[in-house]
Chains A and B, each alone.
Chain A
Amino acid sequence: DTAVSQTPKYLVTQMGNDKSIKCEQNLGHDTMYWYKQDSKKFLKIMFSYNNKELIINETVPNRFSPKSPDKAHLNLHINSLELGDSAVYFCASSQGWAPDNEQFFGPGTRLTVL
Chain B
Amino acid sequence: AQKVTQAQTEISVVEKEDVTLDCVYETRDTTYYLFWYKQPPSGELVFLIRRNSFDEQNEISGRYSWNFQKSTSSFNFTITASQVVDSAVYFCALSEEGAGSYQLTFGKGTKLSVIP
| Cβ < 8 Å to B, chain A residues 9-56 | 40-45, 48, 55-56
| Cβ < 8 Å to A, chain B residues 28-61 | 31-33, 35, 37, 39, 43-47, 50, 52
| Cβ < 8 Å to B, chain A residues 76-104 | 88, 90, 92, 97-104
Partner of B108, one of A40, A88, A97: A40
Looking across the interface, which residue of chain B has its beta carbon closest to that of A102? Answer: B47
| B-chain residues with CB within 8 Å of residue A103 when the two chains form the complex | 47, 104
Nearest Cβ in chain A — how far from B48, in angstroms? 10
Residues of A in contact (CB 8 Å), total 26
Interface of B is mostly: strand
Of A42, A100, A110, most buried by chain B (CB within 10 Å of CB) is A100
A105 close to B44 (CB less than 8 A): yes
Q: Convert B52-73 into 0s and 1s, putting 1 for each residue whose CB lies closer than 8 angstroms to a CB of A.
A: 1000000000000000000000
| A-chain residues with CB within 8 Å of residue B95 when the two chains form the complex | 99-100
Report the separation of the CA atoms of residues A54 and B47 in the bound assembly, to the nearest whole angstrom.
24
| A-chain residues with CB within 8 Å of residue B43 when the two chains form the complex | 88, 107-108, 110
A99 close to B33 (CB less than 8 A): yes
| A-chain residues with CB within 8 Å of residue B106 when the two chains form the complex | 42-44
Known: A88-B43, A105-B44. A100 touches B52 (CB 8 A): yes
Q: Can you name 5 A-B pairs with beta carbons within 8 Å?
A: A43-B45, A48-B103, A58-B103, A88-B43, A105-B45
List the interface of chain B (C-beta within 8 A of A). 31-33, 35, 37, 39, 43-47, 50, 52, 89, 91, 95-97, 99, 101-106, 108-109, 111
Q: Other than A97-B102, A105-B45, give 19 A-B pairs with Cβ distance below 8 A.
A: A40-B108, A41-B39, A41-B109, A42-B106, A44-B106, A48-B101, A48-B103, A55-B101, A90-B45, A92-B45, A98-B102, A99-B95, A99-B99, A100-B33, A101-B102, A102-B50, A105-B44, A107-B43, A108-B44
